[in-house]
């Protein structure tokens, strides 16, 4: 049985993410701890258990600061495909952020384009479609890749998903896209 860490033992709380019965409490504690937990969450991205890395990326999605962005970019190379997918989301999604930190498109779009065009895993391609869909109104390269995927992706569900993102992006004006991010 695992012991509950002290409130300010954020490395201990990150370790609790590996314990199934303690996971939700640890996640809540790290989220409400805010910026104080960020260094431990960044270290958690190198944890040996993929579930811990996945959850750390998910928490960083909400708490991200400028120092965390390089760690999220590095997570795009994680051995676990779900960590990569969550990192794409964390870098692309402005809606989830509790701070003013907004990672630049150039930090993730090239990798998202690569994943969409050539990765064999459908879930990772879906994450790339989602990430690229968020920037397509202001990124012609993302819109072109989504358009291509809407016609050529081997998975019919992903073709449909890409088609939906193309339609949304095409309906958005650059001014409306800028206002929503």
Domain boundary among 84, 101, 118: 101
Per the CB < 8 A criterion, the answer to whether 137 and 165 are in contact is no
Average pLDDT over residues 73-100: 90
Alpha carbons 40 and 49: distance in angstroms, whole number: 15
Mean pLDDT for the stretch of residues 85-112: 87
pLDDT of residue 176: 42
- Do residues 89 and 60 lie in contact, with contact meaning Cβ atoms separated by under 8 Å? no
Give Cα 97 to chain centroid, integer Å: 11
Question: Mean pLDDT, to the nearest integer, of 1-23?
Answer: 91
Instruction: Please tell me whether residues 69 and 119 are part of one structural domain.
Output: no
The total number of structural domains in the chain stands at: 2
pLDDT value at residue 177: 43
> For 21-37, what is the mean pLDDT?
96
> Is pLDDT at 48 greater than 70 in this prediction?
yes
Residue 87 sits in the same domain as residue 28: yes
Same domain, 68 and 110: no
Burial of 54: CB neighbours in 10 Å, binned 0-12, 13-18, 19+: buried
Whether residue 179 is predicted with pLDDT greater than 80 in this model: the reply is no
If you average pLDDT over every residue of the chain, what do you get? 92
Mark which of 42, 72, 101 sits at the end of a domain.
101
CB count within 10 Å of CB 162 equals 29
> Where is the domain boundary, 101, 126, 144?
101
- Which domain covers residue 30, as residue numbers? 1-101
Count Cα neighbours of 87 within 13 Å in the Cβ-side half-sphere: 28
Burial class (CB in 10 A: 0-12, 13-18, 19+), 109: buried
110 and 146, same domain (yes or no): yes
The residues, ordered by sequence, that sit 6+ positions from 20 with a Cβ below 8 Å of its Cβ are none
Residues 19 and 75 placed together within one structural domain of the fold: yes
Q: Rounded CA gap, 118 and 101, in Å? A: 30
Q: Are residues 82 and 121 in the same domain?
A: no
Give the pair of three-digit tokens for residue 28. 């809540």
CATH number at residue 93: 1.25.10.10
pLDDT of the residue at 173:
55
**Comparison of pLDDT for 173 and 42, the residue scoring more:** 42
**pLDDT at residue 5, as a whole number:** 93
pLDDT at position 16, please?
Answer: 97
- Is a pLDDT exceeding 80 seen at residue 180? no
Residue with tokens 């965390």: 68
Helices (H), the chain: 10-16, 23-33, 38-44, 50-63, 69-74, 81-92, 109-118, 122-135, 140-152, 156-171, 174-180
Percent over 90 (pLDDT), the chain: 82
Look at residue 1 in the predicted model and tell me its pLDDT: 47
**Residue partners of 106: CB distance under 8 A and separation at least 6:** none
Residue 96 pLDDT level (bands cut at 50, 70, 90): confident
What are 121-151's pLDDT values in tens digits? 999 999 999 999 999 999 999 999 999 999 9
Let me know: does 61 contact 96? Beta carbons within 8 Å.
yes
């Amino acid at each position: 049985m695992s012991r509950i860490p002290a409130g300010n033992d954020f490395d201990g709380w990150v370790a609790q993410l590996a314990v199934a019965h303690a996971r939700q409490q640890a996640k809540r504690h790290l989220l409400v701890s805010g910026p104080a937990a960020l260094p431990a969450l960044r270290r958690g991205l190198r944890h040996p258990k993929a579930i811990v890395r996945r959850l750390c990326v998910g928490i960083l999605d909400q708490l991200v600061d400028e120092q965390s962005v390089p760690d999220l970019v590095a997570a795009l190379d994680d051995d676990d495909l779900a960590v990569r997918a969550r990192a794409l989301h964390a870098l692309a999604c402005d809606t989830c952020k509790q701070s003013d930190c907004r990672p630049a498109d150039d930090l993730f779009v090239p990798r998202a384009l690569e994943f969409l065009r050539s990765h064999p895993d459908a879930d990772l391609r879906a994450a790339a479609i989602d990430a690229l869909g968020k920037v397509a109104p202001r990124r012609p390269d993302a819109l072109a890749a989504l358009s291509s995927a809407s016609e050529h992706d081997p998975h019919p569900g992903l073709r449909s998903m890409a088609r939906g993102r193309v339609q949304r992006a095409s309906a958005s004006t650059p001014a409306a896209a800028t206002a929503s991010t």
